[in-house]
Amino acid sequence: MTVRATQLLREADVVIIDQIAREEFVALFARPDVEIVDAGHGETGQPLTVASRAKLVVRTAKAAARPDSQPLVVRLMDGDPATFNGLAEEAVACHRAEIGFEIVPGVSSVSAVPAYAGIPLTANSSRAMHIVSAGDDRTDWAACTAADSTVVVLGAADALPNGLAKLLAAGRAPETPVALSTDGTTIHQITTVTTLGEVVAQLRGNKLAAPTIAVVGSVVEMREQLSWWENKPLFGWNILVPRTKDQASTMTDRLASYGASSDVVPTISVEPPRTPQQMERAIKGLVTGRYEWIGFTSANAVRAVREKFVEFGLDARAFAGLKIAAVGGVTADALREWGLEPDLVPTGEQSAHGLLEGWPEYDELLDPINRVFLPRADIATDTLVAGLQEIGWEVDDVTAYRTVRAAPPAPHVREAIKTGKFDAVCFTSSSTVRNLVGIAGKPHTTTVVACIGPATAKTAEEHGLRVDVLAAEPSATALVDALADYGRGLALSAAENGEPTRRPSERKAAARRKAKASH
């Protein structure tokens, strides 16, 4: 989508959705309280006609109108609204009803889907391009038969085979390459390359999956060199991420860049301490100069202290004169969002050990105060406290928040975990291993297990899991990168053996089919 489109979705009071971009898509951009109106399907579940959608848009806009305000109604169309999408009818209906509107262009599936399939629409061998609707009886198929032209055929699943048959009958050479892309630009994209003569024979009487786009012409041959999306190392993988949603964005964004989707399953719930007095005393001590250092060992600790500051009417100025330590990059970023730049962040291992390696010893001549404030989880280990005490510091180890096991995920998620429907699981701590197994059961043996570090891997092995991937350093980015390298290895191995590349969840099904055939 364009920048303007995402801006309008963020501000929308009402969103009228289409057949492909549904509620889940709107949730990525819009406010949680946005009203959603379905213009894709009627009450019977059948797709609405163009005229029915135009009436619905007008009716929704009128219903949203208020005398004291102007609510924003966004009509979200699939693809580019000006291309085969009923824009003219809906805009004319709004004009007649004297409803003001703005048209925001999008990216048409005509160009987007072939680009994601690695197929340019023009090249030296093909300078002309035709965009045709397979279901339009007025289409001049004879105008699309030149060998040096590209034809993009759009249409409903039942119309597309007929359209290709008409193109062949009009005189386009049967050996002309054809690419059929289903679910284009998504992680479920499948592109099949054949010829016009073969595809017409294959599809005769058969209905294609929707949505599918056909590209006909010599440019299809360039896919072998230019296919990039379907060759991503984790393309089509569905990854289980046992983290809270506010902690998982870095990982899920990185997974998406490698072509994977992800399901976030919270395994812990962060709650305030049972008795807040200790935390309140420490915050007051921070303000009155009781501490030389404050050490943050997680973004949750930053959040807990920040919430107390809000409660007491304090802001970042209260940290004046205080040295700040952060256990790693994620924690440091949480501090920077608050306007605080940490004085100490480990350059090597991002852990309590790494933090201790860079922490200076207490020097009574240089350090006016010998006390450290550590706001931490109730289940934190004693490694950092003991290490600081060994180098001369006194430590106030304060419970800033409690971590409790989250509620079990939905039954279908638990079933997917146990039966191997996830291709991989990314563990970012020992607690995520213990809690996931506790609330949902052990991942299937075919699921690739990726761990952020040796301690997490050891916990996974203690729970009977085979660890396949270990991050080079303890960060979410490094963990996903290591999983992508593993995916590349699987693809190379399959290519060397002359086999198709299968996702881990598919290998289980393939093995089952092979065993059944042998039997």
Residues 376-422 have pLDDT tens digits of 988 777 889 999 999 999 999 999 998 888 889 999 999 999 999 99
Q: What is the mean pLDDT of the chain?
A: 90
> Looking at the DSSP assignment, which residues form a beta bridge with residue 264?
241
The dihedral built from the CA positions of residue 104, 105, 109 and 112, taken in this order, carries a sign that is negative
**What CA–CA distance (Å, rounded) separates 248 from 51?**
43
Separation of alpha carbons 22 and 6, rounded Å: 15
Which pLDDT band, with edges at 50, 70 and 90, does 5 fall under? very high
Amino acid in the structure at residue 347: T
CA distances from 91 to 53, 82, 139, 185 (A): 11, 11, 25, 27
**pLDDT score at 487:** 96
Of the chain, the percentage scoring pLDDT greater than 70 comes to: 97
What's residue 245's pLDDT?
67
* pLDDT value of residue 516: 47
Euclidean distance between CA atoms 372 and 294, whole angstroms: 6
pLDDT over 90 at 33, yes or no:
yes
Residues of 254-274 as b/e, b for ≥16 C-beta within 10 angstroms?
bbbebbbbbbbbbbbebeebe
Q: Give me the sheet containing 448-451, strands edge to edge.
A: 261-264, 238-241, 424-427, 448-451, 469-470
Per-residue burial over 343-361, b = 16 or more CB atoms within 10 Å of its CB, e = otherwise: ebbbeebbbbebbbeebee
Estimate to the nearest angstrom the gap between the alpha carbon of 516 and the chain centroid: 36
SS3 54: helix
If residue 115 lies in a helix (H) or strand (E), which one and from where to where? helix 109-116
